[in-house]
């Protein structure tokens, strides 16, 4: 286990993610449509910035995850005549994994990791802003969809089911790590197991909400001390 960078928290800011407001449509993979339920979204990665990490910070990592993805009854998602009720069990769903960000970088420009909606996967090539892209959950859930399936690395969409009663909460989290950036590709998402931490670090996050069914959303910013989960691969 590496030495913690520090116990202090980071201050994280994501443009357009504000208390009482929906995540901007330009950052989503799907958005409310004039006719029907939803249509394609621009899928542009947002501008995200954070305070400089404490002494001992050698790299950063960005993780975006939804804490309200259905863990069961996923066959009902986006299906006419069906509703995903609030009683359906939930799990984390990872939308953005970017690791090995150099220690002298404290912001990622809008569109730097995704500037368009792309189907059939996004490559594991190094991100334009620096860092290594991770393989996320979109890869698994599109495996049986001929129109979308592929290997998806880097940033991709909030796109909650339009027939879900729950508001979805998207956690933009930045970790200040005590391990140096290294050249690698094909990082996989965190395992999500309790106690399966990676290198100790401090962290900060901003939480934005999105709900297509009632077209409502709210956001809140917060900072937190925590340890990141291990990234494998």
Q: State pLDDT tens for residues 94-140.
A: 989 899 999 999 999 998 888 877 778 787 877 776 788 888 877 78
Q: Which stretch, 8-22, 35-49, 68-82, 114-128, has highest mean pLDDT?
A: 68-82
**What's the token pair of residue 10?**
């980071």
**Distance, C-alpha 143 to centroid of its chain:** 19
Average pLDDT over residues 153-179: 85
Q: How far apart are CA 35 and CA 37, in angstroms?
A: 7
Give the pLDDT of residue 21.
66
Q: Does some domain include residue 89? A: yes
Q: Does some domain include residue 229? A: no
| Res. 193 pLDDT band, cuts 50 70 90 | very low
Q: Indicate which CATH number applies to the domain containing 130.
A: 3.90.280.10
| Residue whose token pair is 């979308």 | 148
| Res. 88 pLDDT band, cuts 50 70 90 | very high
What's the domain count of the chain?
1
Under 8 Å between Cβ of 168 and 159: no
User: Within 10 Å of residue 137's Cβ, how many Cβ atoms?
Assistant: 19
Q: How far apart are CA 50 and CA 165, in angstroms?
A: 32
Q: How far apart are CA 205 and CA 187, in angstroms?
A: 21
| Res. 208 pLDDT band, cuts 50 70 90 | low
Q: How far apart are CA 171 and CA 48, in angstroms?
A: 12
| Res. 148 pLDDT band, cuts 50 70 90 | confident
Give the pLDDT of residue 217.
35
Q: Does some domain include residue 28? A: yes
Under 8 Å between Cβ of 180 and 196: no
What is the CA angle 52-56-60, rounded to 5?
Answer: 50
Q: How far apart are CA 223 and CA 8, in angstroms?
A: 10
197: domain range?
Answer: 12-224
Q: What is the pTM of this model?
A: 0.74
């Amino acid at each position: 286990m590496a030495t913690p960078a520090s116990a202090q928290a980071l201050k994280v800011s994501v443009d357009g993610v504000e208390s009482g407001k929906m995540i901007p449509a330009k950052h989503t993979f799907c958005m409310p449509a004039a006719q029907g339920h939803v249509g394609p979204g621009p899928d542009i990665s947002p501008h995200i910035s954070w305070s400089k990490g404490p002494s001992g910070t050698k790299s950063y990592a960005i993780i975006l995850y939804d804490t309200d993805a259905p863990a069961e009854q996923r066959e009902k998602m986006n299906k006419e005549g069906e509703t995903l009720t609030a009683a359906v069990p939930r799990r984390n769903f990872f939308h953005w994994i970017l690791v090995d960000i150099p220690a002298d970088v404290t912001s990622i420009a809008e569109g730097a990791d995704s500037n368009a909606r792309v189907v059939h996967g996004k490559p594991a090539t190094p991100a334009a802003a620096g860092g290594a892209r991770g393989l996320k959950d979109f890869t698994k859930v599109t495996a049986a969809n001929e129109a979308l399936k592929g290997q998806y690395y880097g940033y991709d969409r909030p796109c909650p089911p339009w027939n879900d009663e729950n508001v979805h909460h998207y956690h933009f989290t930045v970790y200040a790590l005590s391990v140096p950036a290294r050249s690698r590709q094909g990082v996989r998402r965190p395992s999500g197991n309790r106690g399966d931490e990676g290198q100790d670090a401090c962290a900060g996050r901003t939480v934005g909400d999105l709900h297509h069914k009632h077209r409502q959303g709210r956001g809140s910013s917060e900072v937190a001390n925590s340890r990141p989960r291990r990234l494998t691969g």
